[in-house]
Amino acid sequence: MSKVIRNFDSDTTIFHEGEVGRHLYIVRSGKVAIRRLIKGEQKELAILTKGAIFGEMALLDGGPRVASAIALEPTECDEISIDLMRHRFDKMDAFDKALLRVLIQTIRQTLKIYDEAMDSADILPD
């Protein structure tokens, strides 16, 4: 179980969409872009700054990464291992665990519906 500080250079990919998640991250400094492949083009979903948490869904439900994370400038993050997350998750009460699982399933289902809609649309989202 570990938490370490990681430094990423500008334009460094922290993780790729579709990968298995082994860590989540908390931005200490810098900026991170969250990007998703939509109709063959990378679309920026968010820009994260100090205090933002990313990469958590893949750890909590074991699914693939739903987006890529790229450092936009020199960036420092806390990197939290899957083992530490599982240890903390195991300490949660049953209701909180169930609620978290439902929320993650809802997000993944919403992304699936969105992806299907984009596949049949003639335009790309901004």
**Segment 19-76, tens digit of pLDDT:** 999 999 999 999 999 999 887 888 999 999 999 999 988 877 778 898 999 999 999 9
116 confidence band (pLDDT: 50, 70, 90)? confident
Helix (H, G, I), strand (E, B) or coil at 92: coil
Statement: 3-120 belongs to CATH 2.60.120.10: yes
Across the chain, what does the average pLDDT equal? 87
Measuring CA to CA, which residue among 16, 21, 28, 30 is closest to residue 78? 28
The domain segmentation of the chain, as residue ranges, is: 3-120
57 Cβ contact list (under 8 Å, min separation 6): 21, 63, 65, 66, 104, 107, 108
Average pLDDT of span 98-109: 85
